[in-house]
């Protein structure tokens, strides 16, 4: 969740590092800091708050190279100046920045205090700085390697040695580290977004690897010292992709990008000749796919909810039993891994720690797993080895919008592919292909209704609680709508299956508590109208997201979308709820792109 940036080369590191920290702000953080080496001295600056606050405390002429910088999301110790990274050893020779958690930090701290070390912070990371300084070894690499052999936990870290400024040592175990390769200069980051202004050529470290990074290149190895071979990847995103452009917020920009993002997800993947989809990245033959007897989708947050939609699509179109489960729960319950089950891991960043751990558990027990991921070359994508990239482009806002829509679209492609291998007819395949082709234009039409949705948002912004309900495929849409609203506006929102309303949640309905009903015009339309009547009978305000046409009951607000194919309707029905959440947050004066306590890429447990 924290951010790491490093630079070594002939240029002054400070502006590069601060710029990189700004690029990583979306990951979520509460403090920031920087360290550079110049003329044999280690210079540091750090503070609680935003990167802009750090820029105010960085002294004039704060120059040097190499350098490292960090944004921290508190785990051990409250957000404060002294707990911000980098952390130094007693002699202020070693500087460390670290993402992750050192699980045996308390025991190591007691050992070091027994040796006379006085700690300045409450963090687990400061333990690393003192431990590295205490290790024997001629080089910084040897010292870091020796220290990490004593450590239990997760880390993505970068280390500077004031007395050996010719290198930065980095290591990874459970938290991403990326090396950027330049012209006689090298970059380090926890996310390629911090590097794209300077290089498109990157290398991803794997768990258990350590690397010595010099201006003219790098050498990677295992903690035991064995050399490792790394493959370069090319980052396709441009620097401009991370800017807001003419929009006030990244979230609003990314909502607006959805027609083009869905086009990119579909590009080259529709096969009208055989009325199916072409998904070469799954690397499984028709015979192997026919052997699949069930599907299990794993993800966290919006990725999990997209997985619920995906599981329903697979059941509908391929007639395979399918379900979705939070990856964070799956990995802890000693799951039974079946050889005829296909596991699908979903993650926007491709670095979500719980999802990665679930993938590793499936693989350890001999299961087959595919990834549905946005970031090319990310850890989950590499760990799975096969799957579907959604190609949504960078998503900077913490709140997922376009990647949710594109993930649901990717699931539709996969369900179509599985269905056509099985019993889905050519006529049904043609119907779905036509529906998928129409999605980008239909998405644009929904977004054109923003002014009307903003008017409804002004009414909701005055509420303290809101409830979302839906049936069948409408329930995941309701879940995602509630999640968006609570994430970005801090308005308490919960989602329930409409069929469960009278089994308890109906007690919460009151005149001051609005309910948003997902109301597709399908076979369940009459039952959903009955749900609305139940809410109105308790004088609860009702807002609906539905298709074109008159409603047989009065409601307090309507958001309408075009009718698609029934299997694809949830993709369109979710769009007004994104705009609704955005405008409620705007009306409530919230920090839309960086909601409190949240992060885009959750790389800790």
| Per-residue pLDDT band at 597 (split at 50, 70, 90) | confident
pLDDT at 440 over 60: yes
Residue 535: name the closest of 518, 558, 555, 557 by CA: 555
Average pLDDT of the chain to the nearest whole number: 93
Per-residue model confidence as pLDDT tens digits over 88-119: 999 999 999 999 889 999 999 999 999 999 99
- DSSP E strands in 425-561: the ranges are 465-470, 492-497, 515-519, 542-547, 557-561
Q: Which pLDDT score, from 0 to 100, does residue 29 have?
A: 82
Q: Which pLDDT score, from 0 to 100, does residue 124 have?
A: 92
* Mean of pLDDT values over 591-595: 87
Residues of the chain with CATH 3.60.20.10: 3-242
pLDDT at 216 over 90: yes
Instruction: Give the architecture (CATH level 2) of 3-242.
Output: 4-Layer Sandwich (3.60)
* Mean of pLDDT values over 456-471: 94
171 vs 191, residue with greater confidence:
171
User: What is the CA 40 to chain-centroid distance, rounded?
Assistant: 39
| Per-residue pLDDT band at 142 (split at 50, 70, 90) | very high
CATH 3.40.50.10490 given to domain 454-587 = yes
Per-residue model confidence as pLDDT tens digits over 498-526: 998 888 888 888 899 999 999 999 999 99
Q: Which pLDDT score, from 0 to 100, does residue 483 have?
A: 97
pLDDT at 481 over 90: yes
Sequence length of the chain is: 605
| Token digits of residue 430 | 């043609």
| Region of poorest pLDDT, from 156-160, 198-202, 241-245, 595-599 | 595-599
Q: Which pLDDT score, from 0 to 100, does residue 605 have?
A: 56
Q: Which pLDDT score, from 0 to 100, does residue 505 have?
A: 85
Q: Which pLDDT score, from 0 to 100, does residue 404 have?
A: 97
Give the catalytic positions in this structure.
2, 600
Those residues whose C-beta lies under 8 Å from the C-beta of residue 348, and which sit 6 or more positions away, are 302, 303, 373, 374, 375, 392, 395, 400, 403, 407, 600
Q: Which pLDDT score, from 0 to 100, does residue 246 have?
A: 87
27 vs 556, residue with greater confidence:
556
Q: Which pLDDT score, from 0 to 100, does residue 599 have?
A: 61
How far is the C-alpha of 302 from the C-alpha of 287, rounded, in Å? 32
| Per-residue pLDDT band at 191 (split at 50, 70, 90) | confident
pLDDT at 393 over 70: yes
Per-residue model confidence as pLDDT tens digits over 291-305: 999 999 999 999 999
Those residues whose C-beta lies under 8 Å from the C-beta of residue 172, and which sit 6 or more positions away, are 155, 156, 157, 205, 206, 207, 208, 209, 210
Residues of the chain with CATH 3.40.50.10490: 250-446, 454-587
pLDDT at 263 over 60: yes
| Per-residue pLDDT band at 189 (split at 50, 70, 90) | very high
Determine the CATH number of domain 250-446: 3.40.50.10490
Q: Which pLDDT score, from 0 to 100, does residue 603 have?
A: 54
Q: Which pLDDT score, from 0 to 100, does residue 93 have?
A: 96
* Mean of pLDDT values over 259-277: 96
Per-residue model confidence as pLDDT tens digits over 340-378: 999 999 999 888 889 999 999 999 999 999 999 998 888
């Amino acid at each position: 969740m924290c951010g790491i940036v490093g630079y070594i080369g002939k240029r002054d590191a400070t502006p590069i590092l601060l710029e990189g920290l700004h690029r990583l702000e979306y990951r979520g953080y509460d403090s920031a800091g920087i360290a550079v080496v110049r003329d044999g001295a280690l210079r540091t600056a750090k503070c609680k708050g935003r990167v802009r606050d750090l820029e105010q405390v960085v002294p004039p002429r704060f120059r040097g190279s190499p350098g490292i910088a960090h944004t921290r999301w508190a785990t051990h110790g409250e957000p404060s100046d002294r707990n911000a990274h980098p952390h130094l050893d007693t002699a202020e020779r070693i500087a460390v920045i670290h993402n992750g958690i050192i699980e045996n930090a308390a025991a190591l701290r007691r050992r070091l205090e027994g040796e006379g070390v006085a700690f300045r912070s409450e963090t687990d990371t400061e333990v690393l700085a003192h431990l590295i300084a205490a290790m024997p070894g001629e080089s910084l690499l040897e010292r870091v390697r020796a220290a990490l052999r004593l450590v239990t936990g997760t880390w993505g870290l970068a280390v500077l040695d004031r007395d050996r400024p010719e290198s930065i040592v980095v290591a990874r175990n459970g938290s991403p580290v990326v090396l950027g390769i330049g012209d006689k200069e090298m970059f380090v980051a926890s996310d390629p977004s911090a590097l794209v202004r300077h290089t498109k050529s990157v290398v991803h470290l794997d768990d258990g690897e350590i690397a010595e990074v010099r201006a003219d290149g790098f050498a990677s190895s295992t903690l035991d010292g064995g050399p490792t071979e790394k493959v370069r990847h090319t980052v396709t995103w441009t620097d401009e992709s991370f800017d807001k452009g003419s929009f006030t917020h990244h979230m609003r920009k990314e909502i607006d990008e959805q027609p083009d993002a869905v086009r990119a997800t579909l590009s080259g993947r529709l096969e009208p000749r055989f009325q199916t989809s072409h998904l070469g990245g799954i690397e499984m033959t028709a015979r192997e796919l026919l052997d699949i007897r069930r599907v299990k989708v794993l993800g966290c947050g919006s990725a999990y909810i997209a997985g619920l939609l995906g599981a329903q699509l697979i059941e509908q179109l391929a007639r395979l039993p399918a379900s979705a489960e939070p990856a964070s729960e799956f990995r802890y319950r000693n799951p039974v891994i079946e050889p005829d089950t296909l596991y699908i891991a979903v993650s926007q960043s491709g670095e979500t720690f719980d999802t990665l751990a679930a993938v590793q558990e499936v693989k350890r027990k001999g299961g087959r797993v595919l990834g549905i991921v946005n970031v090319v070359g990310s850890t989950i994508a590499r760990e799975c080895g096969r799957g579907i990239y959604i190609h949504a482009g960078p998503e900077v806002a913490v709140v997922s919008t376009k990647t949710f829509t594109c993930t649901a679209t990717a699931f539709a492609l996969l369900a179509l592919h599985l269905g056509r291998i099985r019993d889905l007819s050519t006529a049904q395949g043609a119907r779905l292909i036509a529906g998928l082709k129409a999605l980008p234009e239909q998405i644009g039409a929904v977004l054109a209704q923003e002014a009307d949705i903003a008017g409804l948002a002004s009414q909701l912004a005055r509420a303290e609680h809101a409830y979302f309900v839906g049936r069948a495929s409408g329930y995941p849409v309701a879940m995602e709508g509630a999640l968006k609203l609570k994430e970005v506006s801090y308005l308490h929102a919960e989602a329930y299956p409409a069929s469960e309303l009278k089994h308890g949640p109906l007690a919460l309905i009151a005149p001051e508590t609005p309910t948003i009903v997902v109301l597709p015009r399908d076979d369940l339309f009459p039952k959903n109208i009955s749900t609305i009547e139940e809410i109105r009978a308790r004088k609860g305000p009702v807002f609906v997201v539905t298709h074109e046409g008159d409603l047989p009951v009065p409601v307090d607000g309507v958001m309408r979308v075009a009718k698609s194919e029934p299997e694809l309707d949830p993709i369109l029905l979710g769009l007004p709820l994104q705009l609704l959440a955005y405008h409620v947050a705007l009306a409530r004066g919230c920090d839309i792109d960086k909601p409190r306590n949240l992060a885009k890429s959750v790389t800790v447990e």
